[in-house]
């Protein structure tokens, strides 16, 4: 899942993100996302957790150092860089969805769209 570390100005983004998180749990899927506890990422993870679902975060150490890593996840992978984050997420995910976000979300989505599944992504 790719989405913003900000929740945006419009309440609809928060509401729909919560509903999507509940759907993930209801359908016995596992959330794989950026590992943060802020913005839409945090809202999504909280909704999955509160609904009894599994959530896996993949977060660079530099973001952990800012103390915004989610501390209630099923599993948290700490990596060295944003490039490693994208590689790890690609390795452990079966599908990708993007919710509203900024340039980081757009970057991650573009990588997945152009990703060749027969080789390691060139991040």
Q: Phi and psi at residue 59, in whole multiples of 5°?
A: -140, 140
pLDDT given for residue 113 in this prediction = 83
pLDDT given for residue 79 in this prediction = 97
Checking 114-123 for CB contacts under 8 A at 24+ apart, the result is: 115/90, 120/87, 121/86, 121/87, 121/90, 123/83, 123/84, 123/86, 123/87
Return the residue matching tokens 């915004």: 68
Contact assessment for residue 115 and residue 90, using Cβ atoms and an 8 Å cutoff: yes
Return the residue matching tokens 């390795």: 91
For the chain, which residues make up each domain, given as ranges? Answer: 11-114
CATH number of 11-114: 3.40.50.450
Q: What is the pLDDT along the chain (123 residues), one digit of tens a residue?
A: 999 999 988 999 999 999 999 999 999 999 999 999 999 999 999 999 999 999 999 999 999 999 999 999 999 999 999 989 988 998 999 889 999 999 999 998 888 888 765 555 555
The count of other CB atoms within 10 Å of the CB of residue 52 is: 10
pLDDT given for residue 46 in this prediction = 98
pLDDT given for residue 37 in this prediction = 96
Is-above-0.85 flag for pTM? Answer: yes
């Amino acid at each position: 899942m790719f989405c913003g570390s900000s929740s945006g100005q419009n309440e609809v983004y928060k509401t729909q993100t919560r509903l999507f998180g509940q759907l993930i749990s209801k359908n016995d899927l596992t959330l794989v996302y950026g590992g943060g506890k802020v913005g839409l990422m945090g809202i999504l993870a909280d909704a999955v957790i509160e609904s009894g679902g599994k959530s896996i975060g993949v977060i660079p150490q530099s973001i952990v150092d800012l103390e915004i890593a989610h501390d209630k996840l099923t599993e948290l992978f700490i990596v060295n860089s944003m490039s490693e984050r994208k590689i790890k997420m690609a390795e452990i995910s079966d599908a990708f969805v993007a919710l509203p976000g900024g340039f980081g979300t757009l970057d991650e989505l573009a990588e997945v769209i152009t990703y060749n599944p027969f080789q390691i992504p060139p991040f």
